[in-house]
Structure 1
């Protein structure tokens, strides 16, 4: 019998697997640009210049790179950069044709462009884009020995490629950023409802199911990824264009609250089962009512029904009433009452955020007056000593020189293959570990792609229509899978090359593909060795730098949170900062990932322990915003304000100590503050007047995760050699 729940689960899984359909749209855009560029040039050369088939390949390459290498901050800047690609590529093609008979001067020109590609990154991504297409164009013209007489056709090919890249990127798909945001939110809601469905099953079933718990955990991790991706799209995209009246900050707050509700529900339900709380039918039914109501409360749907949000509000209110009823029960009830209170608090925030979105949309639609707010923040970082871009540029010069020398010695008929591989391996990899991983992925993808491509090319050889169709399919798959795996992209790109060799050379040999794999291996090895031996950036050092960024933002986050008690401004942007912390923590994980390849390395380096503590700190920090009151606490007396200011100062000192220990800049034994006496002083609050103006239980609840954060920081600092001290 067909299990409808399983079918529904996998349908939702597929629909949500590509948030905003960004991968699909990028792959379609690139593929259409390549197809159009190639076919246009094939048509032109078949009419006017028979035998000039290679210009169609150049047009396809330019059409591809015109989309993939342009990464400016604004659409306006991207348009300018795309048009400038014509000049950069045209000059490179011209230079290549002039130097085609002067091989060693052409070698110097290639290395110079590689140096500039890395060095000029400090001035903006535009210069990197121009140098990238300049390098590929110079590489292409030098490899093919383009003659001055052929130059006009190659310049036409460049223009055709840029025109199609511009056309598909900025005209045909000109509204794509708004639509991507809308689809991203749709994917986010699908993933949220998928988790809610699993959660409902978990609440209804009093038995603990490990398989279901593992499935739930994986889906929560995936939801966090969707939240980060969607939040990132709110920088360049105004949500008011998609949902009139909604501001960037409002939508980020809604994302944060719903994400935190999911993160809280999963472990809370598991713990409630352990404490036998769900055996109480009232508790179980009330939680089910809340989860089911929130599952339906998607206020961004075009056909949204207001009754769904009202049901969610009623369900949360019912949960509050249950809390009041259980508040005076015995100790066994108080053991799990805290978990219910946390769920109720975050669910209330979700309902409030959803209500504000609904009211804003309604008022705006009624007034037909769309206003939006978009905030952008920048964080300038300074480095001591030589700039990173300069170091990478010098590495590129050395790797490029070695690659060209070995290219002439080992494979003089295609002497630049090693150079291309070494250059690409160095791109976007600051640490030695990341360079090694990329080098390995490039070799593995090339090896597998060469084997499969060889047999496929032989199978379809001579059937030009089928070969071209497969060629474009491989291009699509390469860029659709690129965000998932670099190795998969290289696999499909190598398939493209295998079929192109068959088309251009009238057949493909084992020797040619073997040479391609060998050159890739050598180039990848050169890139890795240069990265490891010349101005090396150890993976541990890169992880330490990223952790420092995380702790820097955490310090500002805690300052804003504790500032409420001194009558500071409302916490309108804390959710934004919490999401930023989430992004920084993911960057720490990404930088540490190469260490997973060597068993025991994480443990010996201490990074595994740091990741564990930072993950806990990030969890506590998000709960400060998710599960507490967000308003200004104006009624706190002066004594409490001074104590909290003192706490903030001590925590900042502890974070500074931890930064020095992680970066290795500590020249003496450091000390960190435990803050046990400060916590005891606040939780006792002997001044009765304070109790009259401030809910004591609420205060303890609001500060609970502040103490947990400090305990985690102190624990990690002590592990690294610091000593603890008390007031």
Structure 2
């Protein structure tokens, strides 16, 4: 959508400017300004977008004016450029509007350098920029409108598509043939990838809930239903892996790339059970794809009713305990899909409800009534040079000064490419490692883009509109590939520049080679500034993010266990959302450590293992929170005071690990030993029914306990000496 909106703004600006007899140089300026005016504004509310766009025009006019006035004054122009860079980065502290206005000011000043703006051309440039901003407004608000409600609706559809994709890969896992070498491994990779993408879609929905929902209650309800569907789908994947595996599979398997899974032959499931599983998984996939049934029959409600019956042990197919767990998980997934449909599309086809479906609807209604408003959490702001925006502004200014000096030695006319690269490698980065990886990717993309630029420039020759058409395609490629690969985005940027130089009649192979040299120089200057000026070590940032994740994991576990033990009800949805956000930040901060160019292989493997363990713990914490949310309103989920004992051990271990991450001396050792089930044994040795709510709570607590203990070894936290067991432990499958 961002690509379509930007391309539309460029095309509209060109369509208005061309009949006015605008020169090619000013057409290029108009196209670049329309692009900047469109992609710089990232606010979610339409009113905020309009205000920022209106404020951006005078900022752009001031930038183009100063660029034209200072174009012939080398020293004054360079000094102002550095001041402008500092201000543009510092403005990020004022939120999306400050970031957008700073970006517009910097990029439009860059446009003035690119087209060699002069004071005599200012009136025409003013008209060009005004038309570009107007074109951006028309496309943004009329042609390709973006409202929070529309965005959230698209994200809901994306979540449904990802959910259907995950279930399709689970069916492939059931059918995977272990006799072929690459079959199971490819299916497992697809399963891990689709699980991760479903979680990404859920996180994107979280970021748009407040603005895209009609009220706080609707936002909380949708968040609950999305979380339920994600948890149910992931749990189904783990149980299917257990059914296909020769031994017990941990949840970690779905989060750790290339984790070995000893899949057994399909024959071990049994032909009858395998056929029934395959049938029901395809029925579940159908429920996701066709969430709103048509009016031509009762087939879809019948399938839904049958799957929901598995929750009540009705019609449960025969098979081993692992196989029957899969059918129960299918029933839970069907319930989650029903809840998602009720939250998004409202109540429908109630006349076909079975008693099981009616009970599920009653549970959903009770949960909806119990949802409370969300509370805002105040974040502690840092001051001075410790504030990230101030530190980044100083770093970028120093790096840009070095890039200007070095760029002038390479070329007195194209030096600004080095400054642009230095600026770009600092965008959306927070540590030295991230800057190094981004600089490397930009250089790789630039080299490949130069090759493409040579080929495209030779192909278009003097055909102006053919060159503009290819420029528009490159712009769309930039935005389409930006979330996927920074190197690919840099490739399209450089290929576009080759075409723009062709339009300006300044194209040559030497210019594109100079582009590589300036890019390498700018990346090097950015890295030098990041290393020497107020550096933020990657390990320091990852430790901060890790401490945040552990703190929020403790909050979720503690609150969920308290509610499951009979404590007061709290807003677990908010706590779980904060945990997911912190984990996503940690995942981003560890990318420099897990990148293929990272030299320390052992450290790379350790970082992947820790993140995978935390993702596993977060999954079980979300599952606990989802179950605990049912306690106040459900008739089938009751509190158990014995769970508090297990919660204390888990939170104690999290506190010790968090202290180790903060470089504090841990006050004690990690407690392990007896399983959670044996700790809660009241002496009657009652057997928990597989698939019951109590069994599921204990299983999640057990996996959480194991995951937290597993974090102790790579983080260097001392473990308690194992105690000799006087009686066999009660283990959960």
Question: How far 1:114 moved relative to its partner?
Answer: 0.7
Shift of the 633–245 alpha-carbon distance from structure 1 to 2, 3 Å rule, reads closer
Contact 2:545 2:582 survives alignment (8 Å): yes
Question: How far 1:90 moved relative to its partner?
Answer: 0.9
What pairs with 1:80-95 in structure 2 (closer than 5 Å)?
80-95=51-66
Question: How far 1:438 moved relative to its partner?
Answer: 1.1
Q: Give 1:548's aligned residue.
A: 547
Q: Give 2:703's aligned residue.
A: 708
Question: How far 1:348 moved relative to its partner?
Answer: 4.0
Q: Distance in 2 between matches of 1:73 and 1:358?
A: 23
> Does 1:42 find its partner at 2:18?
yes
- Secondary structure of the equivalent of 2:511? helix
RMSD: 4.0
Contact 2:446 2:491 survives alignment (8 Å): yes
Q: Give 2:596's aligned residue.
A: 597
> Does 1:424 find its partner at 2:424?
yes
Question: How far 1:89 moved relative to its partner?
Answer: 0.9
Contact 2:46 2:147 survives alignment (8 Å): no
> Does 1:292 find its partner at 2:282?
yes
Q: Give 2:366's aligned residue.
A: none
Question: How far 1:358 moved relative to its partner?
Answer: 5.9
- Secondary structure of the equivalent of 1:673? coil
Q: Distance in 1 between matches of 2:305 and 2:473?
A: 49
> Does 1:132 find its partner at 2:99?
no
Q: Give 1:648's aligned residue.
A: 647
> Does 1:156 find its partner at 2:127?
yes
- 5+ residue gaps, structure 2, are 247-265, 351-368, 724-733
The normalised TM-score by structure 1 is 0.82
Shift of the 350–537 alpha-carbon distance from structure 1 to 2, 3 Å rule, reads same
What pairs with 1:135-534 in structure 2 (closer than 5 Å)?
135-142=106-113, 144-174=115-145, 177-200=148-171, 202-203=173-174, 211-212=183-184, 214-215=186-187, 217-229=189-201, 231-233=203-205, 235-236=207-208, 247-274=218-245, 279-280=269-270, 283-298=273-288, 300-301=291-292, 303=294, 307-318=299-310, 320-321=312-313, 333-334=320-321, 338=325, 340-354=327-341, 359-360=346-347, 380-383=379-382, 386-505=386-505, 508-534=507-533
Question: How far 1:518 moved relative to its partner?
Answer: 0.8
Contact 1:346 1:626 survives alignment (8 Å): no
- Secondary structure of the equivalent of 1:547? helix
Shift of the 80–568 alpha-carbon distance from structure 1 to 2, 3 Å rule, reads farther
Q: Distance in 1 between matches of 2:527 and 2:600?
A: 19
Deviations 1:260-300 (A, max 9, x none): 33323334223323468964455444434432332222464
Q: Distance in 1 between matches of 2:165 and 2:316?
A: 31
Q: Distance in 2 between matches of 1:457 and 1:272?
A: 57
Q: Give 2:9's aligned residue.
A: 33
Contact 1:235 1:374 survives alignment (8 Å): no
Q: Distance in 2 between matches of 1:436 and 1:671?
A: 37
Deviations 1:464-506 (A, max 9, x none): 232222222222222222221121122112122111111212x
Question: How far 1:133 moved relative to its partner?
Answer: 1.5
Shift of the 32–188 alpha-carbon distance from structure 1 to 2, 3 Å rule, reads same
- Secondary structure of the equivalent of 1:119? helix
Deviations 1:501-560 (A, max 9, x none): 11212x522222111211111111111121122222222222222222222221221123
Question: How far 1:723 moved relative to its partner?
Answer: 3.1
Q: Distance in 2 between matches of 1:37 and 1:324?
A: 63
What pairs with 1:546-625 in structure 2 (closer than 5 Å)?
546-568=545-567, 573-574=572-573, 577-578=575-576, 581-595=579-593, 596-598=595-597, 601=600, 603-604=602-603, 606-625=606-625
Which shows bigger deviation, 139-148 or 33-42? 139-148
- Secondary structure of the equivalent of 1:683? coil
Shift of the 287–581 alpha-carbon distance from structure 1 to 2, 3 Å rule, reads farther
Q: Give 2:252's aligned residue.
A: none
Deviations 1:648-706 (A, max 9, x none): 3443332232122123x314664333374875342335599xx99x9996434312222
Q: Which structure's residues are more often helix, by fraction? A: 1
- Secondary structure of the equivalent of 2:632? coil
- Secondary structure of the equivalent of 2:670? strand
Q: How many aligned residue pairs are there?
A: 678
- Secondary structure of the equivalent of 1:684? coil
Contact 1:247 1:374 survives alignment (8 Å): no
Q: Distance in 1 between matches of 2:639 and 2:491?
A: 65
- 5+ residue gaps, structure 1, are 1-24, 47-51, 364-370
Q: Give 1:5's aligned residue.
A: none
Deviations 1:625-644 (A, max 9, x none): 567883239999x9963x54
Question: How far 1:226 moved relative to its partner?
Answer: 4.1
Contact 2:561 2:624 survives alignment (8 Å): no
Contact 1:265 1:343 survives alignment (8 Å): yes
- Secondary structure of the equivalent of 1:140? helix
**Out of 672, 675, 684, which is 1:674 matched to?**
672
Deviations 1:156-201 (A, max 9, x none): 1221111111111123222555444444444443443344345445
Q: Distance in 1 between matches of 2:448 and 2:519?
A: 12
The normalised TM-score by structure 2 is 0.81
Deviations 1:241-267 (A, max 9, x none): 89x999333333333333333323334
Q: Distance in 1 between matches of 2:285 and 2:322?
A: 28
Contact 2:166 2:194 survives alignment (8 Å): no
Contact 2:242 2:322 survives alignment (8 Å): no
Question: How far 1:399 moved relative to its partner?
Answer: 0.7
